[in-house]
Structure 1
Amino acid sequence: MSARPRSLRAPPLRVLSRRSQFLALNRGLRVPAGSFLLQARDRGDGDPEIGVGFTCSRKVGNAVARNRAKRRLREAARLILPEGGRPGWDYALIGRAGVTADRPFDALLDDLRGALDRVHR
């Protein structure tokens, strides 16, 4: 199996980890997606990478519930963002109490696709 040519590859994902990156997303778009909240903004720096961050507050539950919610959000982003996200944009997926950890995974993927469609309309 051969790899896709570099020009056809999806842009790489870069994990947001600094507080300043999340604060910059507060000035961007916010889209409720049913099982989580999506924040997005165009960095405008010419870098083709897609930035993605994940967070869950204590309202989501104990450490086990928060970690499960973040794992599910990370996997959804890994599957959807390379094709549905835009190069040069940052996204933050914020878990919601009672739904992010328990929502069926297919529905979580559909939520992310729908939120990305609304952001990029």
Structure 2
Amino acid sequence: MTRRADFVAANRGLRVARPGFVLLSRPNGGQGIRYGITVTKKIGNAVVRNRMKRRFRELLRAALPDAGLADHDHVLIGRDGGVERDFAQLGVELAIALDRATAGKGDPPRKSRTKPRR
């Protein structure tokens, strides 16, 4: 996924939080299994962010063909401390997150960040 609109749409879908990342999943209307990765500047400098994205990309390439939800967008959002986590442990956490997403057992929705109108 490359378009911002796809990432924003995925944010309205199912959310599964793990210690190293947050997995978002949302049906995409028959476009197949797609994935996107987001790592913000809060995580670290460019070297750290790129390392985390490379690790996430490899995890998703290995896991999505077997465990991914068909015709869904999957977005991984990096969390602070995720780059220091063991790669094998991240793989186990991703498998657990995908199982929870398949079962529809997401975390409660986040509160709206918009300000109330007066």
* TM-score, L = length of structure 1: 0.82
Q: Which amino acid letter does the alignment assign opposite residue 97 of structure 2?
A: A
**65, 68, 72: which is aligned to 1:82?**
65
Structure 1 unmatched ranges of 5 or more: 1-15
1:86: how far off? Answer: 1.8
Cα offsets for 1:65-101 (capped at 9, x unmatched): 1000110000000110110002200000011112x21
1:11 maps to none
1:37 maps to 22
Q: Percent of counterpart pairs with the same letter?
A: 47
Over the aligned positions, Cα root-mean-square deviation in angstroms equals 0.9
1:17 maps to 2
Structure 2 unmatched ranges of 5 or more: 104-118
Number of residues of Structure 1 aligned to a counterpart in Structure 2: 103
* TM-score, L = length of structure 2: 0.84
Q: Does 1:119 align with 2:104?
A: no
1:90 and 1:60 map into 2 onto residues whose CA distance is 23
Stretches (4+) displaced over 6 A: none
